[in-house]
Structure 1
Amino acid sequence: MAINLNYLQRCPSFDAAFGRGYGEEVDWCQKTAAQGGLHVAVPNLFVEHRGGASFGSDEKWRRIAQNNALIARRYPKYDPMVQRFIANDPLVTPRLALALAYLDSLDDLHETPVFIAHTMGGGAENYLKARLEALSPAAAVILRFGGAARCQVEVLTPNGTTTGQTNDLDAVERLMQVLNRRRIIYSCAVGDPDPVELPDFFARVAQDQHLDVLFHDYFPISPSYTLLNRDGTYRGVPPPSSDDSAHCSRRMDGTKVSLEEWRHAWGKLMQQADRVIVFSKDSRALAISAYPETRHRIEVHPHKLTKLVPKVAPPQNDRTVIGVLGNIGPQKGAAVLQAASRLLRDTPNAELVLLGRIDPAFRLSSGTICHGNYDLEDIPFLIRRYGINIWFIPSIWPETFSYTTHESLATGLPVISFDLGAQGEAVTAAPNGHIVPMKGARSDTASLAARVIQTAIALRAQTG
């Protein structure tokens, strides 16, 4: 603590009531503050306090308790003031800068990974967690978009994590300049209020550094990150001239952003990328369709299942029991599942079991079992419990990988999927996979559901 000479002369000593230590500097600061003194932090000054040997452990904690009580009696507003300081955290920026500088000083860290992520969870978040767990040393930065503040900065060090939030992207950019060796890894930024300006920001952060663009979804291609149109259907990669409202965006001031403007903004980032990483061949084809100039920089790296799902013997029953894995929202095929549920009410010896949940906007018939959340290791038990003998992947968007598809296939039971996306790619390649055409066929939900049920019943008749 550096002390102004004027206040040192006014208050030249610590209060002896505090004995040999703990709390005496707080008392001195409160007295000088009452005399008009201002206490400030100097972020660019670093003083190390190495070790502590003034007291034994028992005496230390006894003195802390006694002297804290004395501070509370003398200055009853002090503790609430400290709590407000902690809540407001005015020193978060210098602490983040210090943590970043520490990472940059690590000799065994070739470069610091800077992940661009969102706050929505899901597969992209699971992928990020796995990447972070594999780091050695535990050193990384996460710039997270779509939360309460525009950007949450998380600096992970071997000694802990420092986190701060801001709406000022220029401040984030200045912070990132502390890292002289960094690799920017775009994972997902869905949820940002003005996403068309993000590619330029990412490009500046990645200036003269390495940049990877990952396709966990299709946000770099369209604001509709699932590529679904306004009517909820998939008809391929939309051309830049598309005026479908699902493929348009708006700035924070309300200005409309066309798909052509979107592609121009994100296209510059795609051109700057050292690598464009996709997780299926189908995603590679879609990325090339939108950005053909990236063809030679696209790498296909399929995910690996985080946990092995064992092969399961088909249950011995005379029913067709269609199982669905995962939480099902609109893009995951909730409308198709709803239609199938209703059709199965009047279909003898056939039923539907959802291991997961469905969007509350959709209702399943009373005869459909909705199990709720599950753990992967429970799948063999749940197959036997409900008699599931066929899986159905209801997703209607071209998924970039689809963990649930690979988990279903791993059980060895027949798996039905539509002919699109990574899910269709995986099911087509698997010996226990069966495709129901969506392209070039009637794609209303009732027709799709009816074809799935017909396929499932036929498969059950073949396998017995």
Structure 2
Amino acid sequence: MIRTIASVVRGEGVRSAARRTSERISEAARAISLRAAGLFVGDARASVLNVIAAGAAPRLGGVQQQLDARLDAERSFRAVSVLTPGMLDCSSSRRHTRRVSRDLEAAIREALALSGARAVHFEGTAGVPLPLIASLTASGIASILSVHDFSLFCARPHLMEEPSGEFCEFSTDFARCHRCLRETWDVVAGEQQQRRALAREILGRATAVVFPSRYMLDRHRELFALPRLAGVVIEPSPRFTTLRRKDSCGGRAIAVAGSVKRHKGGHLLPEIARLAGGVRLHVFGGGDETLLRDLRASGLGVVHGYYRGGDLPALLRRHDVGLVVLPSIVPESYGLTISESWHAGAAVVAFDLGAQGERIRERGGGWLASPSSGAAGIASIVARWKAGDIATAVPGSLSAPRDAARAHIELYRAAGLIVGS
């Protein structure tokens, strides 16, 4: 723990470490309160059991932030039971939690018995053993999958090949895949073929499959040779703070937001800033200590560090940010940071990859660089924007958590899992 705190201080700064600690304390207090409520509430009934195997704390990332916002909204429509490692969070009667097994399969069986749920909704497949999903489906339990990454395709959901640290371009060379996986795990030959074959079977048998973007649906149809996969696209949303809307990007500061890690293009930031004419980047978010220290050492980055989920738009406004650099070198499944930037009235610049490319092409609000152009491609756009040579308006209407909640209620109703309003 001390080593982790020291790393955060070195990379993100003392204030960032304090914010992280404060959020942990708030989480712990909330957990104690919900567990205490569970001593007096006996009702855990729900029609659908939502499973978040990777944990539900918003500090864990964008997926958790949008799930927290959506499920909070869903609690006004239906009784919600959410299974996270070792804990069942129930809203029937009043919200409370109760402890369950930390073994995922045992916990699911226990939670199904407590809630009476007729379906399991896996809110993401990362960290979920695929044979478990297959066995539940085979036993007659309806399974719904939300696909937030490429974990059905590969054990590395971001598709970063090792040891090169580059996007693998959806490799189908199984020998190459095996070499990559062996860098981290003691995998047996043929593991990747087995994974993809089982994932294809699961996708074909699921009661419903939810994707955050059309890109993800189309890509999974291609990757698993399932052209008729009946996926449903439901756009996620972060928990927005209330801001006065801006119709254009009036701020002149430039920011980087999210996580400063290699797959997010964190290693490119010093070069982007230098090639764009020595611009100064405001960095919001945590990440890799070495990358953050390198950026700070370059004199071209102001590292503000960690922020609570939902706070980014207000931070961008406070620092007069008009352009947000999002240089992810892998395809994103949606890009919540794009939504948060637009909500603040800031344009975005990214590589033309994945859902980030799809969203900017369809809605405007930013510019795209060819992935092959590297840091120079992003820097060229930043420099032109800084000089006032290019401008754009950001989208005025954005998906809200309540929209995603209603869409999921309709999905459950269409599957015959809930009735009424």
TM-score of the two chains, using structure 1 as the length reference: 0.63
Matching of residue 352 in structure 1 with residue 281 in structure 2: yes
Hey, what does 2:403 align to over in structure 1? Answer: none
Query: 2: distance between equivalents of 1:459 and 1:290?
Result: 37
User: Are the equivalent residues in 1 in contact too, given 2:158–2:263 (CA < 8 A)?
Assistant: yes
User: Which letter maps to 1:328?
Assistant: V
Aligned positions of 1:10-409 closer than 5 A:
102-104=43-45, 109=46, 111-119=47-55, 121-133=60-72, 134-135=74-75, 136-144=77-85, 152-156=86-90, 157-159=92-94, 160-167=96-103, 169=105, 172-173=108-109, 176=112, 180-190=116-126, 192=127, 198-206=129-137, 207-230=139-162, 231-239=164-172, 241=174, 243-245=176-178, 248=181, 255=188, 258-293=191-226, 295-307=228-240, 310-311=245-246, 314-315=249-250, 321-343=253-275, 347=277, 350-362=279-291, 363-364=294-295, 365-374=298-307, 376=310, 379=313, 382-383=316-317, 385=319, 387-409=320-342
Query: 2: distance between equivalents of 1:228 and 1:381?
Result: 30
CA distance change for structure 1 residues 324 and 209 in 2, over 3 Å: closer, same or farther? same
CA distance change for structure 1 residues 253 and 325 in 2, over 3 Å: closer, same or farther? closer
> What secondary structure is seen at the aligned counterpart in 2 of 1:118?
coil
Query: 1: distance between equivalents of 2:175 and 2:66?
Result: 32
User: Are the equivalent residues in 1 in contact too, given 2:88–2:100 (CA < 8 A)?
Assistant: yes
Hey, what does 1:426 align to over in structure 2? Answer: 359
CA distance change for structure 1 residues 254 and 427 in 2, over 3 Å: closer, same or farther? closer
CA distance change for structure 1 residues 302 and 170 in 2, over 3 Å: closer, same or farther? closer
Displacement of 1:451:
2.0
Displacement of 1:436:
0.4
Displacement of 1:428:
1.6
Query: 1: distance between equivalents of 2:101 and 2:209?
Result: 28
- Between the aligned residues of both structures, percent identity stands at 20
> What secondary structure is seen at the aligned counterpart in 1 of 2:166?
coil
Matching of residue 453 in structure 1 with residue 393 in structure 2: no
> What secondary structure is seen at the aligned counterpart in 1 of 2:226?
helix
Structure 1, residues 391-447: CA drift from partner, whole Å, max 9, x if none? 211111111111111222344443211000111111122333211011xx35xxxxx
Which has more radius of gyration? 1
Q: Which has the higher contact order (CA 8 A, sep 6+)?
A: 2
Query: 1: distance between equivalents of 2:179 and 2:154?
Result: 8
Hey, what does 1:52 align to over in structure 2? Answer: none
Q: CA RMSD in A?
A: 3.4
> What secondary structure is seen at the aligned counterpart in 1 of 2:101?
strand
User: Are the equivalent residues in 2 in contact too, given 1:217–1:226 (CA < 8 A)?
Assistant: yes
Q: Give structure 2 stretches of 5+ with no counterpart.
A: 1-34, 392-421
Structure 1, residues 91-113: CA drift from partner, whole Å, max 9, x if none? x9xx99x96xx545xxxx5x132
User: Are the equivalent residues in 2 in contact too, given 1:279–1:302 (CA < 8 A)?
Assistant: yes
User: Are the equivalent residues in 2 in contact too, given 1:218–1:226 (CA < 8 A)?
Assistant: yes
Structure 1, residues 309-358: CA drift from partner, whole Å, max 9, x if none? 632665576xxx431122322221111124324546xx35x322212234
CA distance change for structure 1 residues 139 and 153 in 2, over 3 Å: closer, same or farther? same
User: Are the equivalent residues in 1 in contact too, given 2:125–2:146 (CA < 8 A)?
Assistant: no
CA distance change for structure 1 residues 249 and 295 in 2, over 3 Å: closer, same or farther? farther
Displacement of 1:450:
2.0
The aligned length equals 337
